[in-house]
Amino acid sequence: MNFDFSDEQKQMRDEARKFLSEQCPPKAVREVLDGKAPYDKALWKGLAEMGFLGVAIPEQFGGAGAGHLELCVIAEEMGRALAPVPFSSTVYLAAEAILIAGSDAQKQKWLPKIASGDAIGTLALFEGKGNPSPKAVKVTANGGVLNGVKKPVADGAIADFAVVAARTGSSGRESDISLFIVDLKAGGVEVKSLTNIDLTRGQAEITFKDAKAEPLGPAGEGWSVITQVLDRAAVLTAFEQVGGADRALEMGRDYALDRIAFGRPIGSFQAVKHMLADMYVSATLARSNCYYGAWALSTNAGELPEAAAAARISATQAFQHCAKNNIQVHGGMGFTWEFDCHMYYRRANAVALGLGSLSYWEDALIDRMRKKNAA
Amino acid sequence: MNFDDTPQEAEFRAVARKWIAANAPKEFEEELSKSSLGRIRLAKHDMVEVGKAWQKKKAEGGWACLHWPREYGGRGATPIERVIWQQEEGVYGKLTQPFQIGEGMCGPTVMAWGSEDAKRRYLPKLASGEEIWCQLFSEPSAGSDVAGLRTRAEKKGDNWVVNGQKIWTSGAHYSDYGLLIARTDPNVPKHKGLTMFFLDMKSPGVEVRPIKQANGMQEFNEVYFTDVVIPDSQRLGAVGEGWSVSLTTLMNERMSIGSRLATGVPEMFEFCSNLMLEDGLAIDDPAVRSKLASWAVKASGLKYTSYRAISALSKGERPGPENSIGKLVSGLMLQDIATYAMDLEGAAGSLTGADEEQANGQFQQMLLSSPSMRIAGGTDEILRNIIAERVLGLPGDIRVDKDVPYNKIPTKGR
pLDDT for the residue B256 = 57
pTM of the model: 0.94
Give dist(CA A269, CA A275) in Å, integer.
Answer: 10
Which residues 263-292 in chain A show a CB within 8 A of chain B? 264-265, 267-268, 270, 272-274, 276-278, 280-281, 284-286, 288-289, 291-292
Give dist(CA B283, CA B287) in Å, integer.
Answer: 9
Residue B98's domain spans which residues? 7-127
Say if the Cβ atoms of A289 and B286 lie within 8 Å: no
With contacts defined as CB-CB under 8 Å, which chain A residues touch B383? 277
B254: pLDDT confidence band, cut at 50, 70 and 90? low
What CATH code is carried by the domain that includes residue B236? Answer: 2.40.110.10
pLDDT for the residue B4 = 80
- Rg over alpha carbons for chain B, rounded to the nearest Å, is 23
What CATH code is carried by the domain that includes residue B382? Answer: 1.20.140.10
Q: Is residue B85 domain-resident?
A: yes
- Answer yes or no: are the C-beta atoms of B368 and A228 closer than 8 Å: no
Q: Return the ∠ at Cα A357 (arms to B308 and A362), rounded to 5°.
A: 55
Residue B131 Cα distances to A339, B19, B62, B89, B243, angstroms: 61, 24, 17, 22, 25
Give dist(CA B108, CA B310) in Å, integer.
Answer: 19
Q: How confident is the model over B51-62, as pLDDT tens digits?
A: 999 999 999 999
- Of the CATH numbers 1.10.357.10, 3.40.50.300, 3.40.1480.10, 1.10.540.10, which one belongs to the domain with range A7-119? 1.10.540.10
Say if the Cβ atoms of B394 and A373 lie within 8 Å: no
Final residue belonging to a domain, choices B127, B150, B183: B127
Whether pLDDT at B397 is above 90 = no
What stretches in chain A show pLDDT beneath 70? none
What is the distance, to the nearest Å, from the Cα of residue B280 to the centroid of all Cα atoms in its chain? 40
Other C-beta atoms lying within 10 Å of the C-beta of residue A267:
23
- Answer yes or no: are the C-beta atoms of B294 and B226 closer than 8 Å: no
pLDDT for the residue B312 = 83
Same domain, B273 and B366: yes
Same domain, B12 and B54: yes
Say if the Cβ atoms of B392 and A366 lie within 8 Å: no
Q: Where are the domains of chain A?
A: 7-119, 122-220, 223-374
Say if the Cβ atoms of A1 and B301 lie within 8 Å: no
Same domain, B241 and B335: no
Stretch B165-173: mean pLDDT: 94
Whether pLDDT at B358 is above 70 = no
Mutation site, B300, B327, B332, interface A, largest A CB count within 10 A? B300
Give dist(CA B41, CA B402) in Å, integer.
Answer: 45
- How far off is chain A from B119, nearest CA to CA, in Å? 33
Q: Is the ipTM of this complex over 0.85?
A: yes
Final residue belonging to a domain, choices B85, B106, B127: B127
Whether pLDDT at B164 is above 60 = yes
Give dist(CA B44, CA B197) in Å, integer.
Answer: 37
Same domain, B121 and B142: no
* A285, A313, A369: residue with CB nearest B302: A285
Same domain, B239 and B154: yes
In the residue annotation, B278 being an active-site residue is answered as no
Q: Is residue B374 domain-resident?
A: yes
Residue B159 Cα distances to B150, B190, B230, angstroms: 19, 23, 6
Give dist(CA B183, CA B192) in Å, integer.
Answer: 9
- How far off is chain B from A281, nearest CA to CA, in Å? 6
A357 touches chain B (CB under 8 A): no
- How far off is chain B from A336, nearest CA to CA, in Å? 25
Q: Is residue B407 domain-resident?
A: no
Sign of the Cα torsion B312, B313, B316, B317 reads positive
Say if the Cβ atoms of A295 and B2 lie within 8 Å: yes
* B294, B304, B383: residue with CB nearest A3: B304
Q: Is residue B412 domain-resident?
A: no
Same domain, B173 and B278: no
pLDDT for the residue B412 = 82
**Which residue from A277, A250, A227 is spatially nearest to A100, judged by alpha carbons?**
A227
**Which residue from A310, A294, A235 is spatially nearest to A6, judged by alpha carbons?**
A294
A373 touches chain B (CB under 8 A): yes
* E strands in chain A: 121-124, 140-142, 145-154, 161-167, 177-183, 189-194, 203-212, 214-216, 260-261, 264-265
What is the distance, to the nearest Å, from the Cα of residue B69 to the centroid of all Cα atoms in its chain? 22
Eight-state DSSP code of residue A267: G
pLDDT for the residue B218 = 85
Whether pLDDT at B357 is above 70 = no
pLDDT for the residue A21 = 98
| Cβ burial B105-122 (10 Å sphere, 16+ → b, else e) | bbbbbbbebbeeebbeeb
Q: Which of B253, B278, B322, B381 is catalytic?
A: B253
Mutation site, B283, B382, B392, interface A, largest A CB count within 10 A? B392
pLDDT for the residue B377 = 83
Same domain, B261 and B380: yes
Same domain, B265 and B385: yes
Task: Name the domain count of chain B.
Answer: 3
Domain A122-220 classification at class level: mainly beta
Say if the Cβ atoms of B385 and A277 lie within 8 Å: yes
Sign of the Cα torsion B271, B277, B283, B286 reads negative
With contacts defined as CB-CB under 8 Å, which chain A residues touch B389? 273
**Which residue from B134, B119, B122 is spatially nearest to B180, judged by alpha carbons?**
B134
Per the model's pLDDT, the better-predicted residue between B26 and B310 turns out to be: B26
Same domain, B292 and B307: yes
Same domain, B233 and B310: no
Q: Is residue B406 domain-resident?
A: no
Name which of A256-270, A338-352, B78-92, B279-293 the model is least confident about.
B78-92
Mean pLDDT for all residues in chain B: 91
Q: If DSSP codes are grouped into helix, strand and coil, which group holds residue B139?
A: strand
pLDDT for the residue B40 = 65
Q: How confident is the model over A113-168, as pLDDT tens digits?
A: 999 999 999 999 999 999 999 999 999 999 999 999 999 999 999 999 999 999 99
**Which residue from A357, A45, A86 is spatially nearest to A201, judged by alpha carbons?**
A86
Give dist(CA B304, CA B261) in Å, integer.
Answer: 13
**Crossing angle for the helix pair A41-49 and A7-23, to the nearest 10 degrees:** 150
Give dist(CA B326, CA B309) in Å, integer.
Answer: 12
Q: Is B258 left (phi over 0), alpha (psi -120 to 50) or beta?
A: left
Q: Is residue B404 domain-resident?
A: no
Whether pLDDT at B258 is above 70 = no
**Which residue from B321, B324, B309, B302 is spatially nearest to B379, judged by alpha carbons?**
B324
Give dist(CA B248, CA B181) in Å, integer.
Answer: 13
Say if the Cβ atoms of A310 and B4 lie within 8 Å: no
* B304, B312, B398: residue with CB nearest A288: B304
**Crossing angle for the helix pair A222-258 and A270-299, to the nearest 10 degrees:** 150
Helix (H) or strand (E) segment spanning residue B300 = helix B286-314
Say if the Cβ atoms of B311 and A291 lie within 8 Å: no
Say if the Cβ atoms of A268 and B397 lie within 8 Å: yes
Whether pLDDT at B38 is above 60 = no
Whether pLDDT at B172 is above 80 = yes
Which residue type does B128 have?
A: S
β A161-167/A121-124 pair status: parallel
Say if the Cβ atoms of A362 and B273 lie within 8 Å: no
Same domain, B104 and B151: no
**Crossing angle for the helix pair A68-80 and A7-23, to the nearest 10 degrees:** 30
Same domain, B35 and B144: no
Final residue belonging to a domain, choices B94, B127, B160: B127
A375 touches chain B (CB under 8 A): no
**Upstream peptide bond of A152 is cis (omega within 30 degrees of 0):** yes
Any idea which fold A223-374 has?
A: Butyryl-CoA Dehydrogenase, subunit A; domain 3 (1.20.140)
B272: pLDDT confidence band, cut at 50, 70 and 90? very high
- How far off is chain B from A21, nearest CA to CA, in Å? 22
